Amino acid sequence: MTTMVLIPAKDDERWASVRTFIVAHGRNNLGVGAVWIADNLIPEGGFLLALSDRGRWVAVGTIIEVCDTALNSAELLVLAVGPGENAAAALLEMVSEGERLANDGPRAALEIALTSDLASAEADLRDRGYRGGYSVFELRRPSTDMTSADISGYEVRDLSTGDVPSFYRVVREAFAGIPGVSIPNFATFGNTNLAHDPPARLFFDGNHLAGFVRVSRGTAGVGRIELLGRNPAYRGTGLGLQLLREGVACLRAVGSREVSLQVSGASERALSLYRQQGFRLVRETPVLLRMLDC
């Protein structure tokens, strides 16, 4: 029989043991690495939700807060599941404690992304009051046959230390109101982005940061556009297309044959842009939502 263990993030002697478990058994359908989430996205004062069975870890999850959305929500993630264990069953064991932690946050809602290995939990979650919220789409296209970015009027450069404050501010502004976006605190954001290879590319209009794009090389020739957005003041200027072209060019330069990205179905403009530029749907993940009693 499993037991729920709440482990304070990075401040408990059991953290190292659980982190090793996440490294070995992290789920590979979270968008980014499970251990990266554990290291960077768990808020101060947050917890790992670890399921234990007779001294061995069975599964590990956590609650992460999402960037200033209209729903003021948090997200429950199952980070890792041991060999032979059922991810959906682990999720259902975590959900009650996850709701309590989110409610204590306080957050008004809890989100759960129903990836294919969690789909069998849907009926039980709906019985608990979860309803369809939105979908996350994974899209892909070849890295070839895309026009180069038109950067006339902009200074385009790699992220540097002095750019971090404006980068952080504009990222938060760009994604405010879009569900499912998780942004760490300022210190973690800065350290992570300054260490990122290749560095984020920033588009400046004079002294104003207009937009940004960050990519990762990925694996098996499939690179990833991890972060793309623009200052809300530049909506309707065509900058989004130029940022997309810059991201694809960066991935082509490091040898990626395909480009992947994820976009919330709530971001209709972005979804339309990507489809117009030849991205095809690879996977749709529904996200269930429950309003909590704050």
Rounded to a whole number of angstroms, the CA Rg of the chain reads 19
pLDDT given at position 66 = 61
Q: Does residue 161 share a domain with residue 99?
A: no
Asked if residue 177 belongs to a domain, the reply is yes
Residues 242 and 176 in one domain: yes
209 in any annotated domain: yes
In 3D space, the residue among 247, 108, 255 whose CA is nearest the CA of residue 263 turns out to be 247
Residue 112 lies in a domain: yes
Are the beta carbons of 29 and 116 closer than 8 angstroms? Answer: yes
Q: Which residues contact 247 (CB under 8 A, 6 or more apart)?
A: 201, 213, 214, 215, 225, 228, 259
Question: Do 117 and 192 share a domain, yes or no?
Answer: no
- For tokens 């690179």, what's the residue? 223
DSSP per residue, 206-266: TTEEEEEEEEEEEETTEEEEEEEEE-GGGTTTTHHHHHHHHHHHHHHHTT-SEEEEEEETT
| Domain assignment of residue 239, given as a range | 140-284
Domain limit, last residue, from 73, 101, 129: 129
- In a structure prediction context, what are the per-residue pLDDT tens digits for the chain, which is 294 residues long? 799 999 998 877 899 999 999 999 999 998 778 998 898 888 778 899 999 999 899 999 999 876 545 567 889 999 999 999 999 999 999 999 999 999 887 888 899 999 999 999 999 999 999 999 889 999 999 999 899 999 999 999 999 999 999 999 999 999 887 777 778 789 889 998 999 999 999 999 999 999 999 999 888 899 999 999 999 999 999 999 999 999 999 999 999 999 999 998 877 888 899 999 999 999 999 999 999 975
Identify the CATH number of the domain in which residue 268 sits: 3.40.630.30
Instruction: Give the residue from 100, 129, 158 where a domain finishes.
Output: 129
Residue 293 covered by a domain: no
Q: Does residue 92 sit in the same domain as residue 26?
A: yes
Tokens of 32: 């980014």
Q: What is the pLDDT of residue 69?
A: 53
Boundary (domain end) residue, out of 96, 129, 162:
129
Residue 135: inside a domain: no
Whether residue 109 sits in one domain with residue 230: no
Number of domains into which the chain is organized: 2
- Asked if residue 265 belongs to a domain, the reply is yes
